Amino acid sequence: MTSPRLDRLIGLTLVLVTGCVIAREWGAADWVNIPCYLLLVVAIAALFVEVRPGRKAFVFVALGLTAALAWRVEDWTSVVMDGLYSASFIAAFFTALATLRSAAEPSEDIRASGRFLAEQPPGRRYLALTLGASAFALLLNYGAIALLGSLATAAAQDEPDAEIRMHRRRRMLLAIQRGFVTSLPWSPLSFAIAISTALIPGGSWEGAVLPALGTAVLMTLIGWGLDTIFKPRLTNPAPVRRKPEGSWALLLPLALLLGILVASVLTLGALTGIRVIGLVLLIVPVMALIWTLLQARSGGAPLGQRLKTYAFRDLPNYRNEVLLLMMAGYIGTVGAPLLSPLVKASGFHPEAMPHWLVLVGLVWIIPLAGQFAMNPILAVTLIAPLLPTPAELGVTPAAMVTAITAGWALGGISSPFTATTMLTGSFGNVGARTVGLRWNGSYMLTCLVALPLWVLAYAYLLG
């Protein structure tokens, strides 16, 4: 059972941690880490009280690994500091992105554009929803699946033919889920980019964005092709569809927001030299604040009320998600130095493997780990320190980031433990494992062949 006092403490500490991390990213002295980590520990303690037992287990694992680290590693305190650094960054990144979701969800313009996409005729519905979900993901994160999924199921429910209704709902939900994950390899607002560029030496969004966009385009074309090829055969003739209400102009507000975001990141990046992730931490909340203020002036809820709702209701409502993500980052960071001696003692040496196999393995191992409930943040933070550097592999940092983010996207499609499959399954009235392995089975098999080939082509021919 949740407590209003704890909710306020959770919201306040997460907001303050975000402020500290923004200051750190923008050049504040190292002393800012002290209050940042103290606030982080308070937030974790408050979250621990309210989360479900499965999430509490991650905190116990983190404490156990910290004790093992203190016993086995001489310089264990610096590793713990690195873990707290990672956890605080993840908390701040999640909190910053949630501001934009909070500002976007009440917007009728956003809902109207989503409704227009869901009402597209079958011939172009898949591409419309896939591209739309990818764009919505930048604003709403997982809320993109929730918004478009609810609109899609409502549109499908209006279909009187039960057979058509079943096929339509399934195809629309798959288009939305696959569209969401195609944003992960390239979006500056995705954890895939934030974590991989931080862990790979020389990695940056600017360097990886073009090959990552290639990953997204390839995944989109594969999904569209499979949807077209395996179009269900109907027992009865398909009815004549009515024309969707509105026009493509309904997407202009979304395009404007995305344009402002990209222009702000590129401009401030050129002026300040701060890495893109640090820019996003500040730009996104400022955009959300201005958007919320404009909504308040247009008759929406007062700004002060919206800010309180965001800090003391919306943020605490994400308690299970934010604790899982923070603990995944911390566990991966402190677990890597413990895992490294075990890997070497086993006789397995990643640096001795064929270089191309290391890149291919990154695309495969992340979704494989996802089948065993390993969050991509945890998998990547554990694996990345064990890998040879890009220079040792003879490839660019962008090639390694592209491989990691491609695997991250496939994990989001196939793992029954990710929010994408669970949300999609809830709208489709099926289990998450059904979505990940049955609905997406042929899609995953095709991507597991095509994406490694793309990564190798970029690493050794284009990059």
| Among the ranges given (25-29, 83-87, 407-411, 453-457), the one the predictor scored with the smallest mean pLDDT | 25-29
Cα-Cα-Cα-Cα torsion 376, 379, 381, 387, nearest 10 degrees, comes to: -130
**CB atoms < 10 A from the CB of 214, how many?**
20
Question: What is the reported pLDDT for 33?
Answer: 92
Model confidence at 161, pLDDT cuts 50, 70, 90, reads: low
For the cut 90, the answer to whether the pLDDT of residue 162 exceeds it is no
CA distances from 403 to 124, 358, 455 (A): 30, 9, 6
For the cut 90, the answer to whether the pLDDT of residue 3 exceeds it is no
d(CA 237, CA 447): 33
Mean pLDDT confidence for 353-377: 92
Model confidence at 447, pLDDT cuts 50, 70, 90, reads: very high
Model confidence at 223, pLDDT cuts 50, 70, 90, reads: very high
d(CA 211, CA 458): 7
Share of the chain above pLDDT 90, in %: 55
For the cut 70, the answer to whether the pLDDT of residue 236 exceeds it is no
Digit-coded pLDDT (tens) for 388-443: 999 999 999 999 999 999 999 999 999 988 888 988 888 888 898 999 989 999 99
Model confidence at 237, pLDDT cuts 50, 70, 90, reads: low
In a domain, 246, yes or no: no
For the cut 80, the answer to whether the pLDDT of residue 242 exceeds it is no
Question: What is the reported pLDDT for 432?
Answer: 87
For the cut 90, the answer to whether the pLDDT of residue 250 exceeds it is no
Question: Exposure string (b/e) for 320-356, b if CB count within 10 Å is 16 or more?
Answer: ebbbbbbbbbbbbbbbbbbeeeeeeeeeeebeeeebb
For the cut 60, the answer to whether the pLDDT of residue 238 exceeds it is no
Question: What is the reported pLDDT for 101?
Answer: 85
Whether 375 and 412 have beta carbons less than 8 Å apart is answered as: no
In a domain, 66, yes or no: yes
Mean pLDDT confidence for 5-19: 95
Whether 427 and 150 have beta carbons less than 8 Å apart is answered as: yes
DSSP secondary structure of 140-201: HTTHHHHHHHHHHHHHHHT-S-HHHHHHHHHHHHHHHHHHHHHTTTT-TTSHHHHHHHHHST
Who contacts 55 (Cβ-Cβ below 8 Å, separation ≥6)?
Answer: 320, 323, 324, 327
Who contacts 14 (Cβ-Cβ below 8 Å, separation ≥6)?
Answer: 43, 91, 95, 315, 322
Mean pLDDT confidence for 237-262: 76
For the cut 60, the answer to whether the pLDDT of residue 217 exceeds it is yes
Model confidence at 40, pLDDT cuts 50, 70, 90, reads: very high
In a domain, 13, yes or no: yes
End-to-end CA distance of the chain: 52
Domain coverage including residue 79: 4-232+252-462
For the cut 80, the answer to whether the pLDDT of residue 154 exceeds it is no
d(CA 285, CA 462): 36
For the cut 90, the answer to whether the pLDDT of residue 455 exceeds it is yes
Mean pLDDT confidence for 129-141: 87
Question: What is the reported pLDDT for 65?
Answer: 94
d(CA 107, CA 24): 32
In a domain, 174, yes or no: yes
Q: Which residue has the higher pLDDT, 349 or 450?
A: 450
d(CA 248, CA 264): 25
The count of structural domains within the chain is 1
71, exposed or middle or buried, with CB in 10 Å at 0-12, 13-18, 19+? exposed
Mean pLDDT confidence for 373-391: 90
Mean pLDDT confidence for 141-169: 74
**CB atoms < 10 A from the CB of 301, how many?**
14
Question: What is the reported pLDDT for 78?
Answer: 93
Question: What is the reported pLDDT for 109?
Answer: 82
Residue closest to 205 by CA, chosen among 135, 269, 287: 269
In a domain, 239, yes or no: no
* pTM greater than the 0.95 cutoff: no
In a domain, 237, yes or no: no
Question: What is the reported pLDDT for 379?
Answer: 92
> Both tokens of residue 363?
């695309």
d(CA 422, CA 19): 32
In a domain, 59, yes or no: yes
In a domain, 244, yes or no: no
Mean pLDDT confidence for 14-32: 92
Question: What is the reported pLDDT for 103?
Answer: 87
DSSP secondary structure of 224-249: HHHHHHTPPPPSSPPPPPPPPSS-GG
| Among the ranges given (115-119, 197-201, 245-249, 291-295), the one the predictor scored with the smallest mean pLDDT | 245-249
For the cut 90, the answer to whether the pLDDT of residue 121 exceeds it is no
For the cut 90, the answer to whether the pLDDT of residue 147 exceeds it is no
For the cut 90, the answer to whether the pLDDT of residue 7 exceeds it is yes
Residue closest to 125 by CA, chosen among 188, 174, 190, 196: 174
Question: What is the reported pLDDT for 401?
Answer: 96
Model confidence at 316, pLDDT cuts 50, 70, 90, reads: very high
